[in-house]
Chain A
Amino acid sequence: KAGVTQTPRYLIKTRGQQVTLSCSPISGHRSVSWYQQTPGQGLQFLFEYFSETQRNKGNFPGRFSGRQFSNSRSEMNVSTLELGDSALYLCASSSGTVMNSPLHFGNGTRLTVT
C-alpha cells in the first residue's frame, strides 16, 4: 500500500506570493491533517479534514487554508507569503481518529520564502 505522498518536496517562493501544497493520503484514509515544523516553533497543528469537512483548526492566521476532495486528497494554501512561513509542512493521514488509527506522515514539503 502506498504511503502518504506530498508534492512538491521543495518549493521556493517570494514574499507576497501564494502557494498550494498537495497531499495524497493512504488509500482508504479519510482524515488528513497538516502540521508546520520550524526550528523556532517546533511542530504546530494547522488543521484537519475528515470526509471533506474541516474537523479541527489550529491557531494560524486566515492566510492558511485547506480543503479536502472527495477522494480524500487534500491541499493546503498559503496566501500573501511571509518570510516566517518558511518551514517544513507535514501532512498525515489516518482512517479515523488518532486514538484508534495511528497517524501516517508524508515526507513533507520544504517551503522557502525569500
Chain B
Amino acid sequence: AQTVTQSQPEMSVQEAETVTLSCTYDTSESDYYLFWYKQPPSRQMILVIRQEAYKQQNATENRFSVNFQKAAKSFSLKISDSQLGDAAMYFCAYVRGETSGSRLTFGEGTQLTVNP
C-alpha cells in the first residue's frame, strides 16, 4: 500500500522568510502524481501545487515550489516570501495513475505558523 509521511507536525516561519515542508512517500508504482494542499481554519482544502512523476522538472506556482526527488521518494514544498495568509495545515498527497480516479492518500499534515 502507498504511504505518505510528513515528519514535521508543526513548523513556524517569520513573515517574508522562506520555509520548507518535508514529505516522503512509498510506492512501487512508476505512474503517479503528487500534490500539496493547504487547509486554513475555514476547513476547505485548497490545491497549492501538483507534480507529475514522469516530469523531472520541479513544479512552481508563484511563491510555491517543490523539490521532487523521485529516487529518494521525497517531495518537499518551499514557500518563499511567506505571508500571514499562508498560515494553515499543509497536506502532502499521492495518487496512483489514471485508474485511481480521485483516490488520494494524504500525509498527516504540517501545521504552519507565520509570525509577523
Contact = CB atoms under 8 A, between A and B. Distances in A.
Interface of A: 31, 33, 35, 42-45, 48, 50, 55-56, 58, 88, 90, 92, 94, 97-99, 102-103, 105-108
Interface of A is mostly: strand
A56 B106 contact: no
A45 B2 CA distance: 13
B100 A56 contact: yes
Contacts of A43: 91, 104, 106
Contacts of A31: 101-102
A102 B97 CA distance: 14
B101 A97 contact: yes
Q: Size band of the B side of the interface?
A: 20 to 34
Residue of B35, B44, B105, B109 ringed by the most chain A CB atoms within 10 A:
B44
Contact of A98 (B43, B104, B107): B104
B103 A105 contact: no
A90 B45 CA distance: 9
Nearest to A32: B102
A44 B100 CA distance: 14
A97 B30 CA distance: 18
A106 B106 CA distance: 17
B42 A48 contact: no
Given A42-B106, A98-B95, A99-B95, A107 B43 contact: yes
Nearest to B31: A99
A53 B58 CA distance: 35
A98 B91 CA distance: 16
B44 A45 contact: no
A111 B105 CA distance: 22
A22 to B, nearest CB: 16
6 contacts: A33-B102, A56-B103, A97-B101, A98-B100, A99-B95, A108-B44
A97 B108 contact: no
B102 A94 contact: yes
A45 B95 CA distance: 11
Nearest to A94: B102
A48 B50 contact: no
A33 B50 contact: no
